[in-house]
Amino acid sequence: MRQLLLVAPILIPLAAASLTALLWSRPAAQRAVGLVAAIALFIATLVLLAEVIAGGMVVGQMGNWPAPFGITMVVDHLSAAMLAITGLMGLAVAVYAMGPGAQERDRAGFQPLFHALLMGVAGAFSTGDLFNLYVWFEVMLIASFGLLVLDRTREQLDGGLRYVMLNLVGTTFFLLAVGLIYGLTGTLNLADLARVAPGVENQGALAAVAVLLLVSFGAKAAVFPLFNWLPASYHTASMPVAAIFAALLTKVGVYAIIRVFTLVFAHDHALFGPILAGIAIATMVVGVLGAAAHYDVRRILSFHIISQIGYMLIGVALMTPLAIAGSVLYIVHHIVVKANLFLVAGAIRQVGGSFALARLGGLWVSAPLLGILFLIPALSLAGIPPLSGFWGKFVVIRASLEAEAWLLAFVALAVGLLTLYSMIKIWNEAFWKAAPDVAPRAEWTRAERVATFAPIVALCAVTLMIGLWTEPFAAFSLAAAEALLDREAYIAAVLGPNPVRLAEAAP
Amino acid sequence: MEILLSLSIGVLVAAAAYLLLARDLPRALLGFVLLGTAANLSIFAAGRIGTMVPPLVDQGARALATEAANPLPQALVLTAIVIGFGLAAFTLVLIRSAHGALGTVSADEMHEAERPDETPASVAAAPGAGVPSHRREAA
């Protein structure tokens, strides 16, 4: 039963992607299948999360090949949380995508690609093998390429090319690192790597591999200085696509960094801790300054993705239980809030007729509900208590202060303030200033309105829940951090008490 | 043999780096293909080369003969080749449709995705009728 649960988050989107592809000429049927699959995925991931909380890590060996030989799947606290949030986002965006523009999107192939993307993300979160992670990265990438250029506008083709080229090079670096680490250790199973890595003779070469992995995961996570593909492409995608990208894609990179640097390269923390801290600082600052310079809702939000990635790296940079717990809490909060802001941006476009702040205005008068639904995630992103972002920031900053990383703490606080500036800019321009002379009001049906607002309201409720009832989320994050730092338990759970030793690699 | 392999990987990476820096996108794509080949060769080399015995389990035996070649890198490289080919094919099609829509394959001449935002000042100077300025230029 546990084994079935382990593969369900991959099998459900796989079935959905295949079925919707078969139903190519019938968009309405595709949409129904997609919605059912998204609901099923959300339920499956929640059950898996409950299972992990109740009974600890779930490990499965595909085809019953023992650990270092076969393909291992491992879901620990962090993976389970990421899977559950993937399920939530999949459902929210699947509903949202039934809103305005659904016909055109579905005819262009949105549904199969969307579910293939969810499959890739779920696979990346649940695999316990480095090469397997590479394969899931590619599944995710190819689906995201298709989604990004769905409408084939000039803007999308240009942005898509930038996204594609940089990510291609990033994943090739990953492949190169896989080859090198296999040559050094003779294994690609993450648990086995964690066991073998501290004893590798050529630690210099191992550190080089770690840098290669950091570059490829960093490019995926859009950290400084590898972030340029993100602001060049995200704002060109249609809003459901941008929302699911903003929620999940960069976070897969962050997850991979956390996983690999807490498990395999933990013994090298003295070398990589300061590097990661430097990257985190630069990422936070560059992202928030980029956002401050823009006047397009989508581009402001895109740059804020980058700046928030910096906060998530604080945990792995400091490697203390509290800091990692803060990162976990931050990731969970951020995914909900950031996806929601993109959904709200789509609604702003629908109600106000534009993404450009200069052409918006008066929305607080014409759509006060939308204003409240914007303020909840926006203020949460900036870290205003008692919303979810406050707790995420509070924990990572407190962890930085405890670790005496003063610069990290200071930058995190300052960037929070600048985030507030950007959010207030959107508020002032789009909601508060007088409406422009020509206020184009889009026509939309009641069903489209429900499909647009239902996920926004639901995600706002989740944000409020994390903010007002933080205790279980904080406790879970601490448990996740403990599980991440307890490498011995991970290795024992995957490899068993007496690990099979692979033939030692020749020197 | 190992020296030859390492040298060819080095040459491939150098050529790939040179091509990837090109502003011409088909060239950059070729650079990606070369870089992928270099990565595949490095996986192959990581599995230790030197033996020519194919990795086949003899009839009746339960494991590979010790002198057989390492089958794992071959499986990994095969997977990576398939993935790399798929990505390269997709990118080629994307470059082609970009050429159709934008009339260029040079990254320097593509300015669609990152146009300057409309600021309150720029809109005040040229209000237009709710149409973004660059759309009007394009039309």
Residue A368 lies in a domain: yes
Residue A502 lies in a domain: no
pLDDT the model gives residue A68: 79
Note the pTM of the prediction, 2 decimals.
Answer: 0.93
Residue A503 lies in a domain: no
Residue A47 lies in a domain: yes
What's the CA gap between A334 and B29, in Å, rounded?
34
Residue B99 lies in a domain: yes
Of A172, A231, A299, nearest to B35 by CB-CB distance is A172
Q: b/e for A341-375, b at 16 or more Cβ within 10 A?
A: bbbbbbbbbbbbbbbbbbbbbbbbeebeebbebbb
CA distance A47 to chain B (A): 32
Any bridge partners for residue B24, and if so which?
B106
Contact A154 B35 (CB under 8 A): no
Residue B21 lies in a domain: yes
Of B25, B101, B117, nearest to A154 by CB-CB distance is B101
Helix/strand/coil for A265: coil
Contact A183 B132 (CB under 8 A): no
Query: Which token pair is A288?
Result: 């928030």
H, E, C per residue of A342-371: HHHHHHHHHHHCCCEHHHCCCHHHHCHHHH
Residue showing tokens 């759509």: A367
Other CB atoms within 10 A of residue B44 CB: 19
Residue B120 lies in a domain: no
Contact B117 A295 (CB under 8 A): yes
Q: Which residues of chain A have pLDDT under 70?
A: 1, 437-442, 500-507
The DSSP result for A393-444, as a single string, is HHHHHHHHHHTT-HHHHHHHHHHHHHHHHHHHHHIIIIIISPPPSS------
Question: pLDDT of B83-135, one tens digit each?
Answer: 999 999 999 999 999 998 888 888 888 887 778 888 877 777 765 544 444 44
| Exposed/middle/buried for residue A127 (C-beta within 10 Å: 0-12, 13-18, 19+) | buried
Of A169, A236, A506, nearest to B20 by CB-CB distance is A169
Beta strand A72-75 with A58-61: parallel, antiparallel or unpaired? antiparallel
Q: Is A356 on the interface with B (CB under 8 A)?
A: yes
ipTM of the assembly?
0.87
Contact A440 B32 (CB under 8 A): no
Query: Which token pair is A93?
Result: 């965006």
| Domains in chain A, number | 1
| Domains in chain B, number | 1
Residue B98 lies in a domain: yes
Question: pLDDT of A140-151, one tens digit each?
Answer: 999 999 999 998
Contact A157 B132 (CB under 8 A): no
Amino acid at A18: S
Question: pLDDT of B23-70, one tens digit each?
Answer: 899 999 999 999 999 999 999 888 888 777 888 888 888 777 777 888
Q: Is A63 on the interface with B (CB under 8 A)?
A: no
Task: Give which of B112, B115, B134 to mutate to test A binding, by max A Cβ within 10 Å.
Answer: B112
Domain carrying residue B32 = 1-49+70-105
Residue A306 lies in a domain: yes
Compute φ and ψ for A76, nearest 5 degrees. -105, -165
**Nearest residue to A426 via CA among A278, A275, A300, A338:** A300
Residue B3 lies in a domain: yes
Residue B36 lies in a domain: yes
Task: Give which of A141, A153, A154, A216 to mutate to test B binding, by max B Cβ within 10 Å.
Answer: A154
Question: pLDDT of A192-226, one tens digit each?
Answer: 999 999 988 889 999 999 999 999 999 999 998 89
pLDDT the model gives residue A507: 37
pLDDT the model gives residue B105: 86
Q: Is A296 on the interface with B (CB under 8 A)?
A: yes
pLDDT the model gives residue B136: 40
Q: Is A294 on the interface with B (CB under 8 A)?
A: yes
Size of interface A-B (CB pairs under 8 A): 142
Which A residues in the span 212-231 are in contact with B, Cβ-Cβ below 8 Å? 231
Tell me if A385 sits within 8 A of A400, measured CB to CB.
Answer: no
Domain carrying residue A380 = 2-436+445-493
Amino acid at A391: W
Helix/strand/coil for A505: coil
Of B28, B47, B102, nearest to A165 by CB-CB distance is B28
Query: Which token pair is A375?
Result: 């303020």
Of B42, B84, B120, nearest to A358 by CB-CB distance is B120
pLDDT the model gives residue A438: 62
Residue B136 lies in a domain: no
**Nearest residue to A214 via CA among A277, A164, A135:** A277
Where residue B29 sits, what CATH number does that domain have? 1.10.287
